[in-house]
Chain A
Amino acid sequence: MSNSSTSDLLKPFKLKTKQQELLIRVSILCLVYILAFITRLFSVLRYESMIHEFDPYFNYRTTLYLTQHGFYDFWNWFDYESWYPLGRIVGGTLYPGLMVTAALIYRLLHFLRFAVHIREVCVLTAPFFASNTTLVAYFFGKEIWDSGAGLVAAILIAVCPGYISRSVAGSYDNEGVAIFALLFTFYLFVKAVNKGSLAWGLASAFGYFYMVSAWGGYVFIINLIPLYVLVLLITGRYSMRLYVAYNCMYILGMLLAMQIRFVGFQHVQSGEHMAAMGVFFLMQVFYFLDWVKHMLSDTKLFQEFLSITVTCAVAAGGIALGVGAASGYISPWTGRFYSLLDPTYAKDHIPIIASVSEHQPTAWSSFMFDFHILLFLFPAGLYFCFKRLSDATIFIVMYGLTSMYFAGVMVRLILVATPAVCLISAIAVSATVKNLTVLLRSKNKVAQIGSTKGTSSAKASSKASLDQSQPFQKNGAMALLFGAFYLLSRYATHCTWVTSEAYSSPSIVLAARGAHGNRVIFDDYREAYFWLRQNTPPDAKVMSWWDYGYQITAMGNRTVIVDNNTWNNTHIATVGRAMSSYEDEAYEIIRSLDVDYVLVVFGGVTGYSSDDINKFLWMVRIGGGVFPVIKEPDYLVNGEYRVDKGAAPKMLNCLMYKLSYYRFGEMMPEYGKPPGYDRARGVEIGNKDIKLEHLEEAFTTSNWIVRIYKVKPPNNRW
């Protein structure tokens, strides 16, 4: 096997097989590490180094505050620029993990004398953590299968679109670090279960702490791990290793998680966390029974004791839960949690959750889009996992199955499923390729076949069949191998294409193809926010739909009424009500909220479809949910939502319609179409003669995407 033909000079560098393998493995990992980072830089190349979308602007603003004012001021930050006039205790209502991480990286870079701006750090945090995730994926894969599977998992996850969608450069969101933390926690826990060591348990508790500090999705961990433990208990795989790992992880993880202000006592009081506590007590009962069984030699006596103890334990647990729930000590499940278990729940009960596009149930096509061949490899991987069942593979199977269910419920949870899908698919790829290569290579050394390796049953079977029809088998294996590589190369192409085309758009700057195929950039959002920053008084209050709240505060530096942290439904409903009322009614609401400017997003000129008119029904629904004077049917004609001549009269005269289409009737956005032709909806608008009484147009961006209106003071003489 060694390189016998190398010259004498190279003799000292001659590597043994083990070392060669290590070298290859390390270099592959290094390449994957770099690949994961650079594939996420499309957005920087296409646009510029900027923060994307909505929530990241809040994260950026808080990170900026953290670096400028220090940790304690951040921790106690009361932000009176958002949710006017209620304000928001920012320090107590966010997951600080992301901001602290970015601030630490920033500090470190400055300590090393790299004078970077905090924005660059924020932009590149997600790609950096994506790179780290590939390493974790490698170790995780190694833990549950072998190092080959680990390598494949690292490669798959590095480019998987499901993960890239939330971790491109500029997507400075909690998920960026949270997926790393999630996978890391799982890896450490599986390691702890395999080793049964307190140290790994402790490490997983700290991983859990980081996850809790980073993302609300930690609830998934604290429910999946107890479920896993329960499954192991039921399948009779209870062991001392499991006991040590779970107890250490749960107790320490809980204590640590409670240090995060946003979580606090929820961790011991809310319904979502009760499963973990229940399993913890169950573990103690199990251990106790085990001990009694060990001490008691009489099996009959033990059976009796067992039944009594189990009954008592279950009864005690049930009573505790019932009393806790009845007395309000244990809070019931939140709406968000319900909507995860029952996909139709949000639609009926919480319009504000249902209104967010990323909370919609996943379409089949987006699975294909985000997973590509992994979708086919996933079941194959599950097959291999069941073939070689161990504590670790049971874990990954459960992780895969539960997260796939959640991915089906909500589009955004594809992200959580991605690592599991990658790992399980990696097992499939690795095992298949390994089997096929073994087949190919053993061909030449028929004699060796029977003697050495062959631990897995898969190999054994292939070996058996090999003996029957050797030449055909070889070609078949060859073809299959090529097929696998072809598929994998398709996967790589698909991932790169998706990343560059679909997931690298910052959504704050819009790009479209012009008439001649050239790129047209609409930078209207930033134009509007810059205008607000430069031309309005510093204490001006801006009312807009909540989607734009974070951006207005971060980029416009102005106070907003509602923003993307949708903690107060009534306040949002008030804004929804103002938008869906007639102008004079809306004016009273606007005055009562001290609003100075009203901002609407309008896509009729450019054909930008996610504008406020298309979101308007949600405003009506959310507003109507709190104020029953707003009724959805008033805005519809025969259940149909329209803005043209046939639209409902209330629709044609509500504030949102007026503000969106003010002066639009004079405009001819498209050649060959009548004036006032709305390109986003493809109709000619129904009310072209819009007069505003209490508001006046203050600013409209160059492509009319953002329109800002100034609220006039009350009439001087009336």
Chain B
Amino acid sequence: MGKLWLICIASISILLPFLCNAFSPETPTDRRVLVLLDDFAIMSSHSLYFNALKSRGFDLEFKLADDPKIALQRYGQYLYDALILFCPSVERFGGSIDVAAIVNFVDSGHDLIVAADVNASDLIREVGTECGVDFDEDPSAMVIDHIGYAVSGTEGDHTLIASDDFIKSDVILGGKKIEAPILFRGIGHAVSPANSLVLKVLSASPSAYSANPKSKLSTPPPLTGSAISLVSIVQARNNARLLITGSLSMFSNRFFRSGVQKARSQTKHEKSGNEQFLTEISKWIFHERGHLKAVNVKHHRVGETDEPALYRINDELEYAVEIYEWSGTSWEPYVANDVQLQFYMMSPYVLKTLSSDKKGLYSTSFKVPDVYGVFQFKVEHQKLGYTSLSLSKQIPVRPYRHNEYERFIPAAYPYYGAAFSMMAGFFIFSFAHLYSK
């Protein structure tokens, strides 16, 4: 029973009941994806991206964003595991979907890809705000970079940006280095400073700024430099993953296929990095990578195998947990050397790095501190790109029982001697006193 509980906790943190619908803890990869479009033409103009997803086994369902029949859930059950919003200009979703529904969808542990664009609707901006990013308030603003633009047919158009300022994480972007820059044309956004979960995956270069390219720049642009995020991700506390970008066209077949040459650079790449970048990041978004689970949390006294209901102070104990990583098809052992265990009561009394056997088993042993109270075994493993593991198991630590102390202390022998000699002396004295006459 306890084990089952721990497995659930391990893989999906606190919001268990909501998450059960999202993916089974055993196969966390999403399956059913709803794609909302402004226009069915996007199906063909972005077919490379969609085909890449389909070929990985996703079940895509294309709907117009204002289709009155669309719904995310029926009878309280979510119909999809993920949602792709390729509808930057939608003013109002059809059916029962609204911002709150999308937020609930995410808060129930489902994944979301949002692509905005120039002239993004307020609705999409609102979704972005809920996810912790703020698109440039000027609806016609674009990211302009007079230095880092991509060389293209139209001279003077610096709104097509070639960016290669990636986040440094193999988990998110895959092990293979993305050689070619990413083509981007669209609206920039800033990550909200109040939000600690949102990350810039692709940032603009320091020379970029966000403004309307058609009008003269009269006031300083609100967003400049590398504060501009081109692609951002969020991993929510319930491990739902979100991707927000200001460019729908970066997913398009045209950008996927086109070559790219960054201004002032001699290297011309045959193919832009878009396909590799967006495919790899979609693997991350749809939990094909970087998803951890912890199972078989065990703790017991040294020399025993059963898990006790509570420990005694100064007990020696062993703690072990198995951590696996989802590779898209199977659970592989997770190898790391920085998984730490806390023995925690308001503050960590013991903090130990768990040693790994490279097969997924992490273990350690330590002595319970000389303090009684309700402790917790806590593993808080939060690593960039990985789902956050937070295991906590409450375990009371009791003081010694009255008969667990040492009974005959050598230092007390003088006292024992004194007590017994006193008794004997008293007896002899009384005897002598009473019968000596």
Q: Which residues of A contact B (CB under 8 A)?
A: 72, 75-76, 78, 80, 84-87, 89, 261, 539, 592-593, 713-718
Contacts and interface: CB of A to CB of B under 8 A. Distances in A.
A80 B402 contact: no
Interface in B4-21: 14-15
Nearest to A574: B346
Interface string B324-349: 00000000000000000000011000
Interface residues of B, number: 31
Nearest to B392: A594
A85 B401 contact: no
B432 interface: no
- Counting chain A CB atoms within 10 Å of each CB, the highest count among B107, B130, B238, B374 belongs to B374
Contacts of A87: 372-374, 396, 398
B374 A717 contact: no
A715 B399 CA distance: 38
Contacts of B373: 80, 85-87
A360 to B, nearest CB: 34
Nearest to A87: B373
A78 B394 CA distance: 15
B391 to A, nearest CB: 15
Nearest to A571: B346
A714 B372 contact: no
B399 A85 contact: no
A717 B106 contact: yes
A72 B15 CA distance: 41
12 contacts: A72-B402, A78-B399, A85-B375, A86-B374, A713-B14, A716-B15, A716-B106, A716-B107, A716-B237, A717-B131, A717-B195, A718-B194
Contacts of A76: 398, 401-402
Nearest to A559: B374
B196 interface: yes
Contacts of A84: 374
Nearest to A592: B346
B396 A80 contact: yes
Contact of A78 (B14, B236, B242, B398): B398
A89 B14 contact: no
Contacts of B398: 76, 78, 80, 87
B225 to A, nearest CB: 25
A78 B312 CA distance: 10
A85 B401 CA distance: 20
Contacts of A89: 372, 399
Contacts of B236: 716-717
B234 interface: yes
B133 to A, nearest CB: 11
Given A716-B237, A717-B103, 13 more contacts: A76-B402, A78-B396, A78-B398, A80-B374, A87-B396, A87-B398, A89-B372, A592-B346, A714-B237, A716-B106, A716-B236, A716-B240, A718-B132
Interface in B185-208: 194-197
Nearest to B235: A717
B105 to A, nearest CB: 11
A85 B345 contact: yes
A72 B404 CA distance: 12
A84 B376 CA distance: 12
B167 interface: no
Interface string B272-308: 0000000000000000000000000000000000000
A592 B344 CA distance: 11
Contacts, number: 64
Nearest to A85: B374
A80 B194 CA distance: 37
B15 A713 contact: yes
Contacts of A78: 310, 372, 396, 398-399
B107 to A, nearest CB: 5
A715 B234 CA distance: 13
Contacts of B103: 717
A69 to B, nearest CB: 13
Contacts of B396: 78, 80, 87
A76 B310 CA distance: 14
Contact of A80 (B15, B234, B242, B310): B310
A86 B346 CA distance: 9
Nearest to A76: B401
A87 B372 CA distance: 7
A80 B373 CA distance: 7
Interface string B349-374: 00000000000000000000000111
A363 B394 CA distance: 48
A718 B132 CA distance: 7
A75 B402 CA distance: 8
Nearest to A78: B398
B116 to A, nearest CB: 17
A84 B394 CA distance: 11
B374 A718 contact: no
Nearest to B107: A716
Nearest to A593: B346
A572 B132 CA distance: 38
Contacts of B195: 717-718
B197 A717 contact: yes
Interface in B395-418: 396, 398-399, 401-402
Contacts of B106: 716-717
A354 to B, nearest CB: 28
Nearest to A80: B396
A302 to B, nearest CB: 26
Contacts of B242: 717
A216 to B, nearest CB: 21
B394 to A, nearest CB: 6
Nearest to A539: B394
A379 B284 CA distance: 89
A597 to B, nearest CB: 16
Contacts of B345: 85-86
Contacts of B197: 717-718
Interface string B231-268: 00010111010100000000000000000000000000
A607 to B, nearest CB: 39
Interface in B123-166: 130-132
- Counting chain B CB atoms within 10 Å of each CB, the highest count among A84, A261, A592, A714 belongs to A84
Contact of B196 (A72, A80, A85, A718): A718
A75 B398 CA distance: 13
Contacts of B14: 713
- Counting chain B CB atoms within 10 Å of each CB, the highest count among A75, A714, A716 belongs to A716
A78 B371 CA distance: 13
B302 to A, nearest CB: 21
A78 B373 CA distance: 9
B37 to A, nearest CB: 25
B401 A717 contact: no
A85 B238 contact: no
A717 B310 contact: no
A297 to B, nearest CB: 24
A717 B399 contact: no
Nearest to A91: B402
A593 B346 CA distance: 7
B234 A717 contact: yes
Interface in B96-135: 103, 106-107, 130-132
A203 to B, nearest CB: 22
- Counting chain B CB atoms within 10 Å of each CB, the highest count among A75, A78, A539, A715 belongs to A78
A38 to B, nearest CB: 41
A115 B355 CA distance: 57
A560 to B, nearest CB: 12
A424 B402 CA distance: 45
Nearest to B240: A716
- Counting chain A CB atoms within 10 Å of each CB, the highest count among B14, B103, B345, B401 belongs to B401
Contacts of B131: 717
Contacts of B399: 78, 89
Contacts of A86: 345, 373-374
Contacts of B234: 717
Interface in B380-437: 394, 396, 398-399, 401-402
A373 to B, nearest CB: 50
